[in-house]
Homo-oligomer: A and B are copies of this chain.
């Protein structure tokens, strides 16, 4: 082992997360020598606008020229926190091909181009680490790739979007409706100006793709993930969930089955005594099951300046150790299988279905027979009379393939006695 007492870093991007990394590097300056066995020296920060005032940041580090980083052979670690696909993808590939190690928090990129980037890292025998890309500060990538490596993991379920979990918590605990809770989340900075990626499950979908790839040792990309958001969840649905001693959560769900990988993001009704049910506010958690370890859960902050920077710096410290021990690239792509991802229509789920029907004799029997025709078994029915003429019907099914349920719903919609299909929510 050759002792290497100083490792030079470059930071790409100085937004919220970049600022967090900068702060931690400053805060931990003296301890890092003990922690990483090397001093970590930030020598360049790539920014768009070099003239912008940035309080507390050493302006001499700023540059808007990528060449100053990529062409500097002394820079051994590049930390990418710009986000988005381009130019991040090109820069990371160039860095890897120049023999530099890369640490990133970029879930969009890893979910879509993970294979390409990991291949480039492997070819160049350098580290490409992305602990921060899934669930912010929560350690999950390293536990999966190392601690749990001897397991056959068959299930990964996660609350991996803090914005939607905050909204659903407010709806559940304070009786807010969706719009009100979203407004509150926006006010507190949990939701972005355009909240689509969060509330439609896209952000969660990317994270689930990454986790499924690592847990099941087979590449899953974002386009493989069925996504459905929380915009249709109503106070009424939440009321029923409470009646069932359950909560509603937006879950990323991945299973490795005999017939292929199942992967989706959608709201689910989940029993109150499941460990995920008590994950409140903007917290995230990932629950998984392995054949040896049984159930495990990881809980914490899935986003934010310092929690995300914590994950990035954990990776950076690890790269520094690898540089010192000349073993960069020791853990690269772990997708050594090539498992089929099932079409979502073939995935089995239990359903909670709420509908408004004419309140007259025979309606329930007719509806039950529709379910029967489409091979849907019913496990629970609740009927409430709303007004004289209309009854609200809640039906919970046994596990059934998505396409059978879809057919049953189309059929129900066509019935004269059906006034409205008010909600269809999966049940864990």
Chain A residues within 8 Å of B, Cβ to Cβ: 1, 20, 24, 27-28, 32, 34-36, 125, 131, 137-139, 142-143, 146-151, 217, 273, 275, 278-280, 283, 285, 290-301, 304, 306-307, 309-311, 313-314, 316-318, 321-322, 324-327, 329-331, 334, 336
Contact = CB atoms under 8 A, between A and B. Distances in A.
Question: Copy number of this protein in the oligomer?
Answer: 2
A287 to B, nearest CB: 8
A150 B278 CA distance: 28
Nearest to A301: B294
Instruction: Point out which of A148, A151, A293 has the most chain B C-beta atoms below 10 A from its C-beta.
Output: A293
A321 B142 CA distance: 14
A331 B146 CA distance: 14
Given A275-B299, A300-B295, A314 B146 contact: yes
A393 B307 CA distance: 44
Nearest to A137: B293
A125 B324 CA distance: 13
Contacts of A307: 292-294
B292 A149 contact: no
A311 B336 CA distance: 22
A293 B305 CA distance: 9
Contacts of A217: 34
A306 B280 contact: no
Given A32-B150, A294-B300, 20 more contacts: A1-B125, A20-B292, A34-B217, A35-B150, A131-B147, A137-B293, A137-B294, A138-B296, A142-B143, A142-B146, A143-B147, A150-B316, A273-B280, A278-B278, A283-B295, A285-B297, A293-B300, A293-B307, A296-B301, A299-B299
A327 B329 CA distance: 12
B293 A28 contact: no
A143 B280 CA distance: 23
A146 B318 contact: yes
B296 A151 contact: no
Contacts of A280: 273
Contacts of A294: 137, 300-301, 304, 306-307
Contacts of A146: 139, 142, 314, 317-318
A122 to B, nearest CB: 11
Nearest to A140: B147
12 contacts: A1-B327, A34-B334, A35-B149, A137-B294, A137-B296, A139-B147, A142-B142, A292-B313, A294-B307, A297-B298, A326-B327, A327-B327
A314 B150 contact: yes
A292 B310 contact: yes
A143 B139 contact: yes
Contacts of A148: 139, 310, 314
A405 B304 CA distance: 40
A285 B324 CA distance: 34
Contact of A149 (B317, B327, B334): B317
Contacts of A311: 147, 293
A174 B125 CA distance: 57
A23 to B, nearest CB: 8
A300 B300 contact: no
Nearest to A297: B299
Contacts of A150: 24, 28, 32, 35, 309-310, 313-314, 316-317
A139 B137 contact: no
A323 to B, nearest CB: 10
Most buried by B among A147, A279, A331: A147
